């Protein structure tokens, strides 16, 4: 065991020397005219010493290399002692390295004009846009019910935005006054319902449960209408899906979003891609259905459109309407945000005015 003891004693001596150098006042900074030299020299010495003992060709690895020359019965004990020595060396080097780093930091601060007690620069903290908060809340609610996130293009073919959704060529929503055309056949999508066609085309003959948020575009502009706004679409398709499933799902969501006192109603409506179709209203969030300015004294606020998937749409995307039924709905995220936070004009949402945004 002699070589082990010899290295242990030598290591102890070398480490003590270096440790006392590090502990000596001013050792790290070196001579004032030569600031930093002391720190560099110490680091260099530290590295050299570490390599000498712990490097691949260092003294401690060297001890292991001679293991093969020992009698087999002596090897386990020898290996144990070498490993112990290596652990001790590693711990001492790690502790010394931490001390050198601390001393370097202390040195760089002392004697300089830096006042470490001054407060730091305050980094202004932003927050998520209210529409983003509402969108995330809606998505996470539906994901909790097992809906999968899906997306569709904002610039899309006539087929996906209109034709496959059973919207005939003479439908008013196809008019230049309502829709932004890129060319005869390409439009900025006017609703997120295009996701229904994309998804059903690519996921044939299987149950579907998706939530699809996104931007949509219409030639619209007043206090509650914007030319670019966000919708969120849901589509559920399976065997035996009924209008009651739609109502149940929306009721759960409305109570989650607007509070447990919320009630809702369905008004008969018309969408070419759902049959029957309805507009969904929720009881006014502000007056609890009593009637106020926000709900135009009606006690109700319209959230969006919904209905059972029209069999013609199944036919257009190659599904069997005898086998599958489904429901879909599409809500305006801008409107829901206005409702939730009492925002009177939709343009506040896109003006980028910090006085407005800081409130969320």
Binding site for ligand FA5 (CB under 6 A): 191, 193, 218, 220, 225-226, 229, 231, 233, 271, 274, 277, 302, 304-307, 328-332, 334-335, 346
Instruction: Identify which of residues 44 and 296 has a Cβ nearer to ligand FA5 in the complex.
Output: 296
Instruction: Identify which of residues 43 and 245 has a Cβ nearer to ligand FA5 in the complex.
Output: 245
The span from the CA of 342 to the CA of 300, in Å, is: 14
Shortest Cβ 283–ligand FA5 spacing (Å): 16
The span from the CA of 310 to the CA of 164, in Å, is: 11
Instruction: Identify which of residues 226 and 262 has a Cβ nearer to ligand FA5 in the complex.
Output: 226
The span from the CA of 284 to the CA of 338, in Å, is: 12
Shortest Cβ 186–ligand FA5 spacing (Å): 19
Quote the DSSP letter at residue 150. -
Shortest Cβ 264–ligand FA5 spacing (Å): 14
Shortest Cβ 102–ligand FA5 spacing (Å): 59
Shortest Cβ 115–ligand FA5 spacing (Å): 53
Token pair belonging to 295: 């709900």
Shortest Cβ 127–ligand FA5 spacing (Å): 23
The span from the CA of 257 to the CA of 136, in Å, is: 12
Instruction: Identify which of residues 166 and 193 has a Cβ nearer to ligand FA5 in the complex.
Output: 193
Instruction: Identify which of residues 3 and 344 has a Cβ nearer to ligand FA5 in the complex.
Output: 344
**Of all residues in this chain, which one has the CB nearest to ligand FA5 in the complex?**
332
β pairing state of 155-157 and 208-217: unpaired
Instruction: Identify which of residues 11 and 167 has a Cβ nearer to ligand FA5 in the complex.
Output: 167
Within 13 Å, how many C-alpha atoms sit on residue 191's CB side?
24
Note every long-range contact of 155-158, with CB atoms under 8 Å and residues 24 or more positions apart, other chains counting.
155/182, 155/186, 155/187, 155/188, 155/189, 156/186, 156/187, 156/189, 156/194, 157/185, 157/186, 157/187, 158/184, 158/185, 158/186, 158/187
Alpha-carbon Rg for the chain in angstroms:
36
């Amino acid at each position: 065991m002699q070589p082990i003891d010899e290295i242990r004693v030598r290591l102890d001596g070398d480490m003590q020397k270096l440790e006392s150098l590090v502990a000596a006042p001013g050792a790290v900074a070196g001579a004032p005219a030569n600031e930093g030299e002391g720190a560099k020299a110490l680091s260099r010495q530290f590295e050299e010493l570490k390599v000498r003992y712990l490097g691949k060709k260092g003294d401690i690895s060297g001890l292991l290399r001679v293991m093969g020359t020992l009698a087999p019965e002596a090897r386990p004990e020898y290996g144990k002692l070498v490993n112990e020595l290596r652990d001790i060396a590693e711990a001492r080097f790690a502790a010394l390295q931490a001390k050198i780093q601390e001393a370097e930091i202390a040195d760089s601060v002392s004697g300089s004009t830096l006042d470490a007690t001054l407060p730091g620069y305050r980094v202004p903290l932003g927050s998520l846009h209210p529409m983003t908060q509402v969108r995330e809340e809606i998505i996470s609610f539906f994901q909790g019910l097992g809906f999968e996130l899906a997306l569709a293009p904002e610039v899309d073919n006539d087929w996906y935005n209109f034709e496959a959704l059973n919207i005939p060529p003479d439908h008013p929503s196809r008019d230049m006054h309502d829709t932004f055309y890129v060319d005869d056949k390409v439009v900025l999508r006017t609703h997120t319902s295009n996701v229904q066609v994309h998804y059903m085309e690519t996921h044939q003959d299987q149950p579907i449960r998706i939530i699809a948020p996104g931007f949509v575009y219409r030639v619209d502009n007043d206090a509650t209408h914007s030319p670019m706004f966000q919708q969120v679409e849901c589509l559920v398709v399976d065997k035996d899906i009924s209008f009651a499933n739609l109502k149940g799902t929306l009721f759960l969501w409305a109570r989650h979003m607007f509070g447990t006192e919320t009630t809702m109603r369905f008004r008969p409506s018309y969408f070419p891609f759902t049959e029957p179709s309805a507009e969904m209203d929720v009881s006014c969030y502000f007056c609890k259905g009593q009637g106020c300015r926000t709900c135009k004294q009606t006690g109700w606020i319209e959230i969006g459109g919904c209905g059972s998937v029209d069999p013609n749409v199944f036919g257009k995307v190659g599904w069997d309407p005898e086998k599958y039924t489904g429901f879909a709905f599409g809500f305006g995220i801008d409107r829901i945000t206005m409702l939730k936070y009492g925002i009177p004009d939709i343009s506040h949402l896109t003006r980028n005015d910090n006085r407005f945004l800081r409130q969320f």
